């Protein structure tokens, strides 16, 4: 059983709020990122959170520690409950994200292996394992790992223990909730819900399949 997280990658405020209102009852969280925030402004985070759904800020934060702190502080002040960061800038950068998240009572997730075909290339050869170890050392709350490669999710679970795993790649990228729901804490679905003719019905169906 896993939670269901909607990746709300629409670019207009009105469309985002329409989809969020239609689907909120079936979701455990909504993930927002650059597509929506660059189109609608960061204030959209608070508007979505006001619907009663926790908001995860997928900014894949990847800078020096001071800049990471400045970014994450803005994210949490805007009403987000969690932030997603990259590990490659180093352990000190990651620790800055974790410290900001925890100072605001929020969570920090670390991208450890990406779901697209190129992710298999770049994160192989021990890179994802190393990033997962960094997530543990930095005290992060969880990692992002690919539903498109369940065996890799299982391998990273060995490293992170009981920390959370949120897993994108379900729906438009070809994976199914059943592929990973026993391995992860949350399944991330974007286009297959917000692009459906009936987003509410699609969200309900994915929620039932995650349970
Ligand atoms: P979709 O279900 O429409 O493919 O959306 C997946 C979402 O998860 C997108 O917001 C994408 O940026 C994000 N994502 C991903 O697909 N793979 C990763 O490895 C990491 C991500 O954050």
Rounded to 5°, the CA angle 170-175-177 comes to 65
- pLDDT for residue 118: 94
Q: Kindly report each contact of residues 38-44 with a partner whose C-beta sits within 8 Å and lies 24 or more positions away, as own/partner.
A: 38/11, 39/10, 39/11, 39/12, 39/13, 40/11, 40/12, 40/13, 40/16, 41/13, 42/74, 42/75, 42/78, 43/78, 44/13, 44/16, 44/17
Q: Is 63 a catalytic residue?
A: yes
- pLDDT for residue 117: 95
Q: Average model confidence (pLDDT) for the chain? A: 97
pLDDT reading at 190 higher than 90: yes
Q: Is 58 in the pocket of ligand 1 (CB under 6 A)?
A: yes
- pLDDT for residue 124: 84
Query: What's the burial of 158, exposed, middle or buried (CB within 10 Å: 0-12/13-18/19+)?
Result: exposed
27, 110, 115, 203, best to mutate for ligand 1 pocket (most atoms within 8 Å of CB): 115
- pLDDT for residue 99: 98
Inter-residue contact 71 to 99 (CB < 8 Å): no
31 is in an annotated binding site: yes
Q: Is 181 a catalytic residue?
A: no
- pLDDT for residue 6: 98
pTM of the complete model: 0.98
Dist. CA 83–CA 61, nearest whole Å: 8
- pLDDT for residue 193: 98
Dist. CA 91–CA 202, nearest whole Å: 39
Confidence of residue 67 (pLDDT cuts 50, 70, 90): very high
Q: pLDDT tens, 95-149?
A: 999 999 999 999 999 999 999 999 998 888 899 999 999 999 999 999 999 999 9
Q: Is 189 in the pocket of ligand 1 (CB under 6 A)?
A: yes
Q: Is 146 in the pocket of ligand 1 (CB under 6 A)?
A: yes
- pLDDT for residue 83: 98
Q: pLDDT tens, 138-185?
A: 999 999 999 999 999 999 999 999 999 999 999 999 999 999 999 999
Dist. CA 143–CA 128, nearest whole Å: 10
Inter-residue contact 3 to 185 (CB < 8 Å): yes
Confidence of residue 21 (pLDDT cuts 50, 70, 90): very high
């Amino acid at each position: 059983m896993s939670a269901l997280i909607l990746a709300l990658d629409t670019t207009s405020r009105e469309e985002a709020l329409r989809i969020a209102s239609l689907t909120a009852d079936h979701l455990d969280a909504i993930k927002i990122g650059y597509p929506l925030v660059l189109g609608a402004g960061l204030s959209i985070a608070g508007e979505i959170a006001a619907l009663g759904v926790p908001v995860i800020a997928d900014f894949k934060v990847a800078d020096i520690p001071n800049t990471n702190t400045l970014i994450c502080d803005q994210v949490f002040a805007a009403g987000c409950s969690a932030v997603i960061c990259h590990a490659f800038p180093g352990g000190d950068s990651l620790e800055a994200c974790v410290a900001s998240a925890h100072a605001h009572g929020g969570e920090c997730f670390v991208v450890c292996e990406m779901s697209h075909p190129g992710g298999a290339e770049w994160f192989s050869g021990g890179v994802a394992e190393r990033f997962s170890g960094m997530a543990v050392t930095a005290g992060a709350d969880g990692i992002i790992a690919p539903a498109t490669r369940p065996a890799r999710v299982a391998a990273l679970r060995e490293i992170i223990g009981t920390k959370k795993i949120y897993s994108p790649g379900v729906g438009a990228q070809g994976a199914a909730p059943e592929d990973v729901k026993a391995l992860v804490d949350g399944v991330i679905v974007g286009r297959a819900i917000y692009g459906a003719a009936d987003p509410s019905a699609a969200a309900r169906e994915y929620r039932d399949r995650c349970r």
